[in-house]
A and B are shown apart, each in its own frame.
Chain A
Amino acid sequence: MSFGHKHILGIEHLSREDIFQILDTAAGFKEINTRAIKKVPTLRGRTIINLFFEASTRTRTSFEIAGKRLSADTVNISASSSSVVKGETLEDTARNIEAMHPDIIVMRHGASGAPHYLAERLDCAIVNAGDGAHEHPSQALLDLFTIREKKGSLEGLKVAIVGDIAHSRVARSNLYALTRVGAEVRLAGPGTMVPPGIEKLGAEVHHDINDAIRDADVVMMLRIQLERQGKTLLPSLREFSRFYGLNQDNLKLARPDALVMHPGPMNRGVEIASSVADGPQNVILDQVENGVAVRMALLYLVAGGEATEES
């Protein structure tokens, strides 16, 4: 059985079966990360280029480790040090990279749709490591992996996603992924941060964080990035924290065994109180750990090609 997709551009295009195939594959790889020798020869001889047009130490490092543990040769190209700043077009950059014959390009870009643009023009597999406010599939998959690991299953769970939904690729990818595996998603954010029509993707929308958190099995907080989104969206971080921040008081509304998640990096004291971020319910570092296994799974699955013969 091979994976049915050449690229991983977003969760939107993945079926429930695809998602479980990725999670099961990741479970197989997770064991490697606890060995003394954390390396298998699976992708020996393959070249993976991490093409990052936006700074992201966390995601890039996670993909890089994932590639290296599979014995692939990984090369990082970041926009600040490349020719992108000199006005080279994305197509030219991509063609130059392709001339070096990578097998997989892992791409982070500030423009929504940039990985789709590349996928249409290049032969190699593209793995989206975050595009604009569109999707961040590996993050959603590692979130699902973590939830499944802690809760046993995903079906029927109540998951609250809180914060700047409008500008969050993490929220979109998680919304697609969680609804596809049968979880119930509640979104909560200020009126300026809930995008039009998002409920059509199968989420309940709340503007009171308490309504979203009540009886939730999982509370996923999003990073607020006010400096990026302009000053008209919020009066102040102080007010955001007061109405949409997760703290010990409102967390009591969730189920006692609810998981607290955050894609990082956290703004402590803004969207999440330190007491909660460091509290017993947080699985934030599990997310980071599982990120490597999930990314190994993604690299392995796309490396196998999409239409190979059944064995």
Chain B
Amino acid sequence: MPEVTTVILNQAGINRALTRIAHEILEHNKGTEDLVLIGIRTGGDHIAGDLADRIAAIEGEKPPLGAIDITMYRDDLDSRGSLPLGRTEVPFDVDGRKIVLVDDVLYTGRTIRAAMDALIDLGRPRNIQLAVLIDRGHRELPIRPDYVGRNVPTSREEDVAVDFDAERHPCEVRLIKP
């Protein structure tokens, strides 16, 4: 059966959404003090990088950037097998930091649960906030994002794809119907 793909966010839309999120983060945290951005591999790390650049452009100071791989914290080893491990690179101390955890698409919330476990194993942050480009609903855990680029109602059969350009900046978001 042929897939049907609809563009739900183009480059301009993504730019607007991320710039807004950058402002919201700064607003909420009253600047960049103790602020760090940690993206979830793979996808969230690229968005975190993009957000860090936008924050730097607004505030003149770029928050420290990290990336975590949550494979070791997954709860689906039985059903999905041993997935390849990515690198966790958090080159700073997380103790006392305000962490903005960044992912591209928020869905069941299980990835975020795993990511929070991973963060807490690295130390004791002051708080953890969540920023996502797309929230497609269907939460299975009590998790709510603090910053959302776009809410997209979807069915479970559908898929949301975030495409990145050669510089790893998000350039398009597509909804794929089976």
Contacts and interface: CB of A to CB of B under 8 A. Distances in A.
Interface stretch (B69-77, B102-110, B164-172): B69-77
Chain B interface residue count: which class?
20 to 34
Contacts of A232: none
Given A1-B84, A35-B122, A37-B121, A28 B79 contact: no
A28 B82 contact: no
B95 to A, nearest CB: 10
Contact of B81 (A3, A37, A42): A3
A81 interface: no
B88 interface: yes
B126 interface: no
B42 to A, nearest CB: 13
Nearest to A38: B121
B133 to A, nearest CB: 21
B80 interface: yes
A2 B78 CA distance: 11
B80 A24 contact: no
A127 to B, nearest CB: 14
Chain A interface residue count: which class?
20 to 34
Contact of A40 (B79, B84, B87, B121): B121
Contacts of B83: 1-2, 304, 311
B117 interface: yes
B2 to A, nearest CB: 21
Contacts of A31: 87-88
Indicate the member of B77, B79, B86, B117 with the most A CB atoms within 10 Å: B77
B85 interface: yes
B82 A303 contact: yes
Given A42-B74, A305-B78, A308-B80, 8 more contacts: A25-B84, A25-B85, A41-B117, A303-B82, A304-B82, A304-B83, A305-B82, A311-B83
Interface of B: 69, 71-74, 77-88, 117-118, 121-123
17 contacts: A1-B81, A2-B83, A21-B84, A25-B85, A28-B72, A28-B84, A28-B87, A31-B87, A39-B121, A42-B71, A42-B74, A42-B77, A300-B85, A308-B78, A308-B80, A308-B81, A311-B83
